Amino acid sequence: MQFVFTPIHKVLYASKHALHSVKTTLLLTLSAVLFFSLNATAQSTNGTIKGTVKTSDGNPAEFVNIVLTDTKLGATAGQTGHFTIKNVPAGTYTIVASYIGLQTQTKTVTVTAGETATVNFVLTEGAKDLQEVYVKSAKHNKFLKKETEDVARLPLKNLENPQVYSVVTSELMKEQVVTCYVDGFKNIPGTGVPLVYNNGRTTLLSRGFVTGNFIRNSVAGYNFNSIDPADIEKIEAIKGPTGTLYNSSLASFGGLFNRVTKQPNEWAKTEIAYQTGSFDLNRLTADINQPLNKERTILFRVNAALHNEHSFQDAGFNRGFFVAPSLTYHVSDRLTVDIDAEIGNSNATSAYRLAPDAKGKTYNVKDLGIDYKRSFANNGVDYLSRQIDLYSLVNYKISESWKSQTMFNKTFSTTKGMVTAFTLVDSTKQIKRQVTQEDYPYYITNVQQNFIGDFKIGHFRNRIVAGVEYYNQKSNNTNVTVNTPAINYLDPGAAYNSFTADKVSTLVNAAAPKAGDYVQNNQSSYAAYVSDVFNITDRLNAMASIRLDRFVNKGAYTPADGKTTGNFSQTAWSPKFGLVYQVAKDQISLFGNYMNGLNNVTGSSFDNTPFKPQYANQWEAGIKIDAWDHKISSTLSYYDISVTNTTMVDPDHPAFNIQAGTQLSKGFEAELIANPVSGFNIIAGFAYNNSKITKGDASVEGLRPANAGPARLANLWMSYRITHGAVQGLGFGVGGNYGSDSYQTNTKTFKFTIPSYTTVDATVFYDQPKYRIGFKLDNLTNEKYWSFRLAPQNPTRGTLSMSVKF
């Protein structure tokens, strides 16, 4: 049978002639796909065997060999424990699961032509025992978890995916005694020093662009407050403009960070952990997993944390409570429902934020002479934050080739209290302290519907995801900003203690009301998208994706004067293309991609022409390696991102902007995850980024944007775990991070430099089936270094972690 169009061709063809009807386009695409799929299946004379291999405690068991006896057919379980044996002639077989050092298991399976039989194995050994077998046989790279369906929303292996991404696992974060979410990003190339905002919200770098933490389990997880790592299974850093499959308002032109949470499994398991250490750290966490019925179709898991920590400075603290319950209900073989929540409350002081004096004569933070341990704050000037986030996911298996995925989430996040910001007056060596009394709630609604297919057209494998998404974000901001008397930052004297909540409240109460003291914001986006991966051969595949976005911003409404400003609407297309060729099957692949991202821009030019969306276009090429029985995994890539439609001052009308600015961000990234010898694991990364404003305001044209961070960043972590003998389970780890010089301000008239830094961390641990003890030292050399907001980072810090498992 010959076909004129593949599904993605139909979408592109229809989109040219029916832009007014996204619904029609998607229906045509899905109809065509279903037609081809059913015909291809009907012609098949063979069947397929799929299944999973798990340990007795519910964890996936990789590398296990699956063989049909008396045939040459078989497979090996992947990192998620899944295996597939295709083109199996109809009949009844004996199927065997085996691995050196483990007990062999045997089952019987019947294969029907054109259908898929499912066989699942559960090894009597636990994950701990299996891990020891892996390490002893030099076949376990314990920090390698690259196989994920989150990045492409499809069953796509890393070597098949033309996009670059990094994954930080919960196992790695446990080894590094991570008690703060952003500490896990030390293992991702190019992320730099975290930027912490007044309410605990954090951003990091990705390819020279500031990138937030607003994605959870591949959908909107907008959290205006800090993120607790208690329920994090892994962190995925997806690189480059990702406007095709993700909401552009939640990502940057450099990429996005997706936090994947822990989900219930079929085996009862509990782990209680306690961490204590420097700066009065006291942290208690619990991870409890329990099936709720004997059939193990209703599964429950809850992760919780109590956290209390002071700053290394003379004032500052963070006290919080967090709980994340989750429920999975396997209604039938076809239908699964997941419901989970994140509920948290915290009380904290603002993150340190300092702005230099642009008219001053000091150009480096080290030269200011400010005491590193002075906070210039007071523990009474604090705020309260709260989050109540609800999520649901419904997976329905339509057929052997198609499934439906429906996601809904509703999140609430708020900050109420006093947040601070400091500014220097260099000529008088003074610091001005500003306080905003605010109540800032965010309300987010996100609905997403996906149809995911995996089928053949003739001999060609086709994997496709098509979906629609609705996103709405509302906020009601009440705020009053006041300034307290400036003090000398070198010798503040008694005036240092004048920064109190009572004095701030007095100033707030005396402030004259303004229309902007209470502002309501409301914005929505509507999107439709389709992405197709087409296997030209078993080694060569092509990806094509496209997304249509309709963005509606109702503007900022101030009830005091009844005015609305900044309201606008924009519609934009975002395409993506990729090509992958496996030079050595399942070991080495060459890849290239073109990706597009967008950012909606408010405002208009002097002649009232509405601004268009800002676009980023990325070209990238590189190599991915997963070789030597998974002991070596590496990605090397070169990228070039050009940004257009950036706003800049109109030279003919200085009070207005025009959309003529451009920016270039290009560079090289390298990542290595290795297990060269038994028990020894390495994670290493390097990122070089060359960012430049190629056309813009005269004050910055030709310069590196200050918020692009260091041009060079490197990370390294090495650990060794003894795998046999009397001290089996004893391990050691050492690593560090490096960042080159960067700027807080970079203009032709004023530059303020943040110096380079090198930090070294080390850990020792003893891991046993029923308990674990670990001790970590961060910043061994007591390096002084700063974030983009000139916030001093932690000096040497020790953390002791103890956990029991049952």
Predicted confidence (pLDDT) per residue in 242-255, tens digit: 878 888 888 999 99
- pLDDT score of 163 more than 80: yes
Model pLDDT, residue 36: 39
Q: Which of 245, 247, 198 is nearest to 224 (CA)?
A: 198
Structure tokens at 355: 């702005």
d(CA 36, CA 7): 9
Q: Between 22-42 and 7-17, two packed helices, what is the crossing angle to 10 degrees?
A: 160
Q: Which of 376, 361, 324 is nearest to 217 (CA)?
A: 324
Model pLDDT, residue 102: 61
CB 322 within 8 A of CB 341: no
251, β-bridge pairs? none
Q: Which of 503, 513, 469 is nearest to 483 (CA)?
A: 503
Kindly state the average pLDDT of the residues 160-177.
Answer: 95
Banded model confidence at residue 286, pLDDT cuts 50, 70, 90: very high
Of the two residues 248 and 174, the one the predictor is more confident about is 174
Model pLDDT, residue 291: 93
Q: Which residues contact 630 (CB under 8 A, 6 or more apart)?
A: 63, 139, 140, 141, 144, 675
d(CA 694, CA 644): 10
- pLDDT score of 69 more than 90: no
Model pLDDT, residue 54: 85
Domain positions in the chain = 44-136, 261-448+474-805
106 CB neighbour count, 10 Å cutoff? 11
What single-letter DSSP state applies at residue 81?
S
Report the Cα 304 to chain-centroid distance in Å.
21
d(CA 274, CA 373): 27
Banded model confidence at residue 4, pLDDT cuts 50, 70, 90: very low
- pLDDT score of 32 more than 80: no
Model pLDDT, residue 359: 92
Kindly state the average pLDDT of the residues 311-339.
Answer: 96
- pLDDT score of 203 more than 60: yes
Q: Which of 332, 188, 209, 228 is nearest to 691 (CA)?
A: 209
What's the pLDDT tens digit per position in 776-790? 999 999 999 999 999
Banded model confidence at residue 11, pLDDT cuts 50, 70, 90: very low
Dihedral sign, CA of 455, 458, 461, 467? Answer: negative
Model pLDDT, residue 284: 98
Say what percent of the chain tops pLDDT 90: 73
Kindly state the average pLDDT of the residues 493-519.
Answer: 94
Structure tokens at 762: 């080390």
Residue whose pair of structure tokens reads 């400075």 in the numeric block: 313
CB 144 within 8 A of CB 625: no
Q: Which of 164, 167, 185 is nearest to 176 (CA)?
A: 185
What's the pLDDT tens digit per position in 88-136? 999 999 998 887 556 678 899 999 998 999 999 987 664 445 554 444 4
Longest dimension (CA), the chain: 88
Model pLDDT, residue 753: 98
CB 801 within 8 A of CB 275: yes
Banded model confidence at residue 24, pLDDT cuts 50, 70, 90: very low
Strands 402-425 and 82-89: unpaired
766, β-bridge pairs? 730, 773
Model pLDDT, residue 100: 52
Mean per-residue pLDDT of the chain: 89
CB 138 within 8 A of CB 678: yes
Q: Write b or e for each residue in 338-353: b if 16 or more Cβ atoms lie within 10 A of its Cβ, otherwise e.
A: bebbbbbebebbbbbb
- pLDDT score of 217 more than 80: yes
Model pLDDT, residue 198: 80
Report the Cα 529 to chain-centroid distance in Å.
21
Domain 44-136 in CATH: superfamily? Carboxypeptidase-like, regulatory domain (2.60.40.1120)
Banded model confidence at residue 140, pLDDT cuts 50, 70, 90: low
- pLDDT score of 222 more than 80: no
Banded model confidence at residue 73, pLDDT cuts 50, 70, 90: confident
d(CA 43, CA 31): 19
Say what percent of the chain tops pLDDT 70: 92
Q: Which of 64, 160, 155, 65 is nearest to 626 (CA)?
A: 160
CB 221 within 8 A of CB 409: yes
Give the full edge-to-edge strand order of the sheet including 74-76. 74-76, 65-68, 91-98, 105-111
- pLDDT score of 483 more than 70: yes
How large is the C-alpha radius of gyration of the chain? 27
Model pLDDT, residue 44: 57
The identity of residue 30, as a single letter, is L
Banded model confidence at residue 76, pLDDT cuts 50, 70, 90: confident
- pLDDT score of 311 more than 70: yes
Residue whose pair of structure tokens reads 């039989």 in the numeric block: 117
Residue whose pair of structure tokens reads 């025992």 in the numeric block: 129
Kindly state the average pLDDT of the residues 165-170.
Answer: 95
What's the pLDDT tens digit per position in 697-737? 999 999 999 999 999 999 999 999 998 888 989 999 999 99
d(CA 386, CA 401): 42
What CATH number was assigned to the domain covering residues 261-448+474-805? 2.40.170.20
Kindly state the average pLDDT of the residues 283-297.
Answer: 94
d(CA 374, CA 312): 9
- pLDDT score of 12 more than 50: no
Q: Which residues contact 510 (CB under 8 A, 6 or more apart)?
A: none
CB 167 within 8 A of CB 189: no
- pLDDT score of 537 more than 60: yes
Model pLDDT, residue 17: 40
N residues, the chain: 806
Q: How many helices (H) and strands (E) does the chain have?
A: 5, 42
Model pLDDT, residue 125: 60
d(CA 494, CA 485): 13
- pLDDT score of 62 more than 80: no
d(CA 18, CA 152): 26
Banded model confidence at residue 443, pLDDT cuts 50, 70, 90: very high
Kindly state the average pLDDT of the residues 606-634.
Answer: 92
Tell me the three state secondary structure of residue 320: strand
